[in-house]
Structure 1
Amino acid sequence: MTHPFIAQLTGRFASHGNEPYGEAISQTQHALQCATLAERSGCNDSMIIAALLHDIGHLYETPDDIDQHDLRHEEHAANLLRHVLPEAVWQPIRLHVAAKRYLCAVDVQYQAGLSQASQHSLALQGGPFDDREAEAFLRAPYAQDALTLRRLDDLGKDPAMRTPPLEHFYPRLQRLLGA
């Protein structure tokens, strides 16, 4: 029997997944690319599903709001997922924006390599961490997984990349929902 969350997820991607989010691809394409890259890299089910769902908070936003305010999509996603999926999925999602801010603080080349949309959202999200914030981030549980997720997020923006459909990831998601 399919978990009700999968039906809800399918509906949300169907209704809002084709919306752009500042990159040359849609929300759904970005999610599928990140999950596909995680799968190809040999990541575990939790990281693959985190990659698939890391921006799900955007699917609940009004597109006009995205350019003007930080709507804390990572917190919204974590709140949506914490009651149905293991911590190893929603914690890296909750921290993936902090991971970007951390990487920008410790690696000037990283920040310079961000897409224009990611640079814009970085400014809305508070910019690079200061030294104290960077140290605190590294001490957080799941910080290393969040850094992995962040790197997948940065790579999952290729308009030419081919991916499997959303349903390809459902068996992994179903296993985690049953955990």
Structure 2
Amino acid sequence: MHSVNFTQMKDGTREEYHFLERLENEFNQNLPERILKALAALEHSLSGYRVSRLQHSLQSAARAEADGADEDMIVGALIHDIGDDLAPYNHSQLAAAVIRPYVRGEVTWVLHHHGLFQNYYYAHHFGGDRHERDRYQDHPAYQLCVDFCEKWDQASFDPSYPTPDLEYFRPMVQRVFSRKPFDPAVIGEEYSLV
């Protein structure tokens, strides 16, 4: 079989759905490479900063690693802005959705909220509330997100910071995105994203 016969999903047969599942599993084995390709594309993304979006991402991950973060958080720091091109107004939520099946809940929560938490550094210049993040101050991952933004995200625009290239992070990306999706032993306690 090269393709299914149905034109509406409700008409699919068991054989056709097993065929599609096999193709999907094969396709998903290349997810780490697609993630790396999307990261590489950040080299030619939003401009105006002293470093490219790719360099910012690499630098964020390098800072996370230097601070002793675990691999889940390092990869989270690496992909935290992967949504900049396709979701400029909710890039945080896109990054969280991408990594959610593969890491513990607090990493997903931090990525989901980092855009809002970053407002602390500049929202007041536009008449916004820089303390809007404080509505989450009772959340168990609040301080982790504050630290993520302070130590790694907002600080990673320095062209002189020693930053490894994307190939350095390839093994980490491959390990994280090759895990069984939604494995309870990995994702642990579910954090509410609200």
Answer yes or no: is 1:80 the counterpart of 2:106.
no
Tell me which of the two structures has the higher relative contact order, counting C-alpha pairs closer than 8 angstroms and 6 or more residues apart.
1
Counting only pairs closer than 5 Å after superposition, residues 112-127 of structure 1 correspond to structure 2 as 119=122, 123=126, 126-127=128-129
What amino acid maps onto 1:92 in structure 2?
V
2:35 maps to what in 1? 9
Q: Which runs of 5+ in 1 are unaligned?
A: 105-110, 112-118
- Counterpart of 1:139 in structure 2 is 138
Look at both structures and tell me which one has the larger radius of gyration over its CA atoms: 2
Residue 100 of structure 2 contacts residue 108 of structure 2 at CA under 8 Å; is this kept in 1? yes
Aligned residue for 1:164? 164
1:34 offset after TM fit, Å?
Answer: 0.6
Match of 1:51 in 2: 77
Contact 1:86 1:176 in 2 (8 A): no
What number of residue pairs does the alignment pair up? 151
- Alpha-carbon deviations, 1:113-162, whole Å to 9, x = none? xxxxxx269749x53235xx61x311223212211210111110002223
TM-score, scaled relative to structure 2: 0.66
Describe the shift of the 1:48–1:94 C-alpha distance in structure 2 as closer, same or farther (beyond 3 A).
Answer: same
Q: CA RMSD in A?
A: 2.7
Gaps of 5+ in 2: 1-27, 180-185, 187-194
Return closer, same or farther for 1:127/1:73 CA change in 2, 3 Å cut-off.
Answer: farther
In the TM superposition, residue 21 of structure 1 has moved relative to its aligned partner by: 4.2
Deviation at 1:32, TM superposition (A): 0.5
Contact 2:73 2:107 in 1 (8 A): yes
DSSP-derived class of the 1:175 partner: helix
Per-residue displacement from partner, 1:9-51 (whole Å, max 9, x unpaired)?
1221233433234411101000010111111111111221121
Question: What's the TM-score once normalised by structure 1's chain length?
Answer: 0.71
Inter-partner Cα distance in structure 2 for 1:121 and 1:170 = 37
Q: Percent identity at matched positions?
A: 26
Deviation at 1:3, TM superposition (A): 4.5
Q: How many angstroms apart in 2 are the aligned matches of 1:51 and 1:59?
A: 17
